[in-house]
């Protein structure tokens, strides 16, 4: 895959069961490299409403996990494992720090020559209190041949 990529992150947050849901989608340019260990590493900027709160994200995907390292307005290292193991991290925001727990129930990765797709289903808690069930799809595509304005 080329170094210049387009990152699409879409998801659904199920709040209070399936009666309420919030859909989210992010489409941003990024850079890609594959490490010597075979880990797919994608770096992209998360747009912010206020310039001082921008966040740089490094996404690392392998066959058994996906990790998102956030630096900037929000700082965290989120880990989604292809197992029943629950992971925890401190999620620092300009408004305070929260202990986040993540329990991944489904994790699938598909890698082709010009595209990497990761699909996850997970539950999130804050301070050991259930917050929401989530679905996320991350798609990384080579930008080659795509219009520049994307």
DSSP for the chain, please give it: --SEEEEEEEEEEEETTTTEEEEEEEEEEEEEEE-TTS-EEEEEEEP-SSGGG-EEEEEEE-SSEEEEEEEESSBEEEEEESSS-EEEEEEEETTEEEEEEEEEEEEEEEE-SSEEEEEEEEEEEETTEEEEEEEEEEEEEE-TTS-TT-
Model pTM score: 0.88
Tens digit of pLDDT for each residue in 86-97? 999 999 988 899
Is the model's pLDDT at 110 over the cut of 90?
yes
**CATH value of 4-142 in 1.10.540.10, 2.40.128.20, 2.40.50.140, 2.60.40.10:** 2.40.128.20
List the chain domain ranges.
4-142
Tens digit of pLDDT for each residue in 12-33? 988 765 567 778 899 999 999 9
């Amino acid at each position: 895959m080329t170094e210049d990529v387009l990152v699409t992150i879409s998801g659904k947050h199920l709040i209070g069961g399936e009666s309420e849901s919030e859909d989210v989608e992010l489409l941003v340019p990024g850079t890609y490299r594959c490490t010597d260990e075979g880990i797919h590493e994608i770096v992209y900027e998360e747009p912010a409403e206020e310039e001082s709160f921008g966040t740089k994200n490094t996404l690392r995907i392998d066959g058994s996990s996906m990790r998102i390292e956030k630096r900037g307005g929000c700082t965290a290292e989120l880990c989604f494992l292809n197992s029943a193991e629950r992971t925890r991290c401190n999620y620092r925001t300009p408004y305070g720090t929260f202990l986040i727990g993540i329990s991944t129930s489904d994790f699938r990765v598909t890698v082709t020559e010009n595209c990497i797709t990761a699909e996850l289903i997970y539950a999130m808690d804050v301070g050991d209190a259930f917050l929401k069930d989530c679905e996320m799809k991350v798609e990384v595509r080579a930008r080659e041949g795509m219009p520049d304005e994307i």
